[in-house]
Structure 1
Amino acid sequence: MTSDVDAPQALHHSLFTGLWDDAALFPPGNAPMAEAVPAHRLYRTEWFAGFVRYFLVGVAHLPELPPLADGADPLRVVLVAPGGPSTVGPAVRTILDTPGLLLAGIEVAGDGEIGKAVAVLHEHLTEPTAGYVEVRNGAGLDADLDDLAGTYGRPKFRTGGTTAHAFPNEAELAAFVHGCRLRELPFKVTAGLHNAVRHTDPTTGFEHHGYLNLMLATHHAVAGAEPNALADLLAIRDSAELTRMAHELTLPERTRLRGYLTSYGTCSVAEPLQDALTLGLLDEPPHHRD
């Protein structure tokens, strides 16, 4: 971060650096490409630029991106391939052949065939930390995590969507976090984490996990907590309690938890950022305030 960030603020920033992948194109946001790309470029100029990692683009939307590429201001993109490994190769070639686009990573659906997903990451990525494979929830989870251990792929887990069944419950998310910790697998999650604290959406009735809950559950998993204890943390809806717990984390503890929770995809950077400011997890630099 910039040199005007003091030590206490740097401690806060340690939880958020590179936390949000810009998934504006994806549901429920569904931003048009012509709006999402300029918005992402604007994020990169703001005081919170360090908290926003990459621009996520799905294979289906990729043809819309090259006309907006700018060789003078390259866009670091992560290709998302929900259709599986067979769709990755042509899409990667499009990115590599377009001046102004840089391939920062690939996320591919595993669909129970982790070996094929890992092979395509190995083929197209030079950096082994840049590839993620979406794993199954439930009965297939442990097998998927076992197959990923020691490979080119890191696990990605879906934490929400546009239907109620897309949201895992606390025990299911806890099992994923605990499983990653046992295998020493850094991970990311995607969808549904619009806010810091677990809540019920008043419009849809969907049960949303909170990203602060997930951070704290990850911290406790690193410290050796069992899945039941992690599920209890994921269920907390008291923002004051969660904020207190977050403020008590030391810098080494923050660093270790973020070594596991690498990022999460969000269709709105503004929502999680505003929650962090409201809860006092972040403080906007004085010269950026109105």
Structure 2
Amino acid sequence: MIPALFKGLLDDAAVFPPGSMPLADAVPAHARHLAAPYADIVGPFVLAAPMLAELGDADVALAVTAPGGPAQVPGVLALAGNRLTALDVAIPAAMKPAEFFTALEPVDVPVFVEIPRDERRAEVIAICAKTGRAAKFRTGGVTADRYPDEAELAHAVRRVVDAGVPFKATAGLHHAVRNTDPATGFEQHGYLNLLAAAGAAMGGAGPRELADLLALRDPGALTARVSTLDTTVRSAFRSFGTCSILEPLTELVALGLVPEGVTA
């Protein structure tokens, strides 16, 4: 019942802020999602490397984040084993891109490299393209400066699409449509805006058009745009992490993009 455009779109990051669900509750909640009518929209269970030891032998498909960089990877591989479906690795501030990618050479699971927002960005994306690694964009956080504006994110999307590098996103995508958080005043990207921008980039749109799509606040106009996309856009924009599966799903239902029956 989940349209193909949205299958696997939501990585279950329930244990991360702002949800911060205890691991003991998050694992059975993930199992319930996978048994629900909307199971096809649910991706892997996201866990930070330091929490792996607490997981024990729970049988769950994992996307593990390594915020400390490649030094955490051997421990992740040992603890996660064949449950590991993806590895998200950050580049330490002092590490050069070539050194980072060399450290990842033995890893044979899909790797999403967290793209830095500094002068290394272009080189990192270029090496991702050469090595077959994917990209991960951080699209928000606990302070306003962690949110890239629409121009910065547009250029980043344009660059990865040009390079043939798929990407996922994490943090700050709390709603389907671009919005201003009433509690913090932060400008938040919409996950449908990002999906629309990825589709436009695949069609050859330039950074200015992509920025306009990322800034679009009209739910009707954005929904109409997303409705024209086919599943090829998901070869570029793979998924995003959310601390709630039901909240984005409910918004997709309200916008008429997912059938109502899936949440029953």
Alignment CA distance shift 1:196-1:144 (3 Å): same
Match of 2:208 among 207, 212, 228: 228
Measured in 1, the distance between the counterparts of 2:165 and 2:142 equals 27
Q: Are 1:114 and 2:104 matched, yes or no?
A: no
User: In structure 2, what residue type is equivalent to 1:31?
Assistant: M
Match of 1:47 among 30, 37, 42: 37
> What is the aligned partner in structure 2 of residue 172 from structure 1?
152
Match of 1:81 among 62, 66, 72: 66
> What is the aligned partner in structure 1 of residue 199 from structure 2?
219
Match of 2:85 among 104, 114, 129: 104
User: In structure 2, what residue type is equivalent to 1:175?
Assistant: H
Measured in 2, the distance between the counterparts of 1:165 and 1:139 equals 17
Moved more, 134-143 or 32-41: 134-143
Q: Identity over aligned residues, as a percent?
A: 41
Q: Secondary structure at the match of 1:145?
A: helix
Q: Are 1:257 and 2:237 matched, yes or no?
A: no
Measured in 2, the distance between the counterparts of 1:143 and 1:244 equals 36
Shift of 1:80: 0.6
Measured in 2, the distance between the counterparts of 1:222 and 1:259 equals 10
Say if 1:18 and 1:263, in contact at 8 Å, map to a contact too: yes
TM-score normalised according to structure 1 size: 0.85
Shift of 1:113: 3.2
User: In structure 2, what residue type is equivalent to 1:114?
Assistant: P
- Give a deviation string over 1:185-225, Cα, whole Å, max 9, x none: 11111111121100011011111100110111111100001
Gaps of 5+ in 1: none
> What is the aligned partner in structure 2 of residue 269 from structure 1?
245
Measured in 2, the distance between the counterparts of 1:150 and 1:16 equals 28
User: In structure 1, what residue type is equivalent to 2:38?
Assistant: F
Shift of 1:241: 0.8
Q: How many residue pairs get matched?
A: 262
Shift of 1:136: 1.1
Alignment CA distance shift 1:50-1:121 (3 Å): farther
Alignment CA distance shift 1:284-1:114 (3 Å): farther
Shift of 1:122: 3.3
Moved more, 131-140 or 34-43: 131-140
Moved more, 167-176 or 26-35: 26-35
Alignment CA distance shift 1:214-1:87 (3 Å): same
User: In structure 2, what residue type is equivalent to 1:93?
Assistant: A
- The answer to which structure, 1 or 2, has the higher relative contact order (CA under 8 A, 6+ apart) is 2
Match of 1:17 among 7, 13, 18: 7
Measured in 2, the distance between the counterparts of 1:65 and 1:182 equals 38
Measured in 2, the distance between the counterparts of 1:149 and 1:110 equals 16
Alignment of 1:53-92 (within 5 A): 53-66=43-56, 69-70=57-58, 74-92=59-77
- Give a deviation string over 1:1-37, Cα, whole Å, max 9, x none: xxxx5xxxx6xx1221011111111122211101111
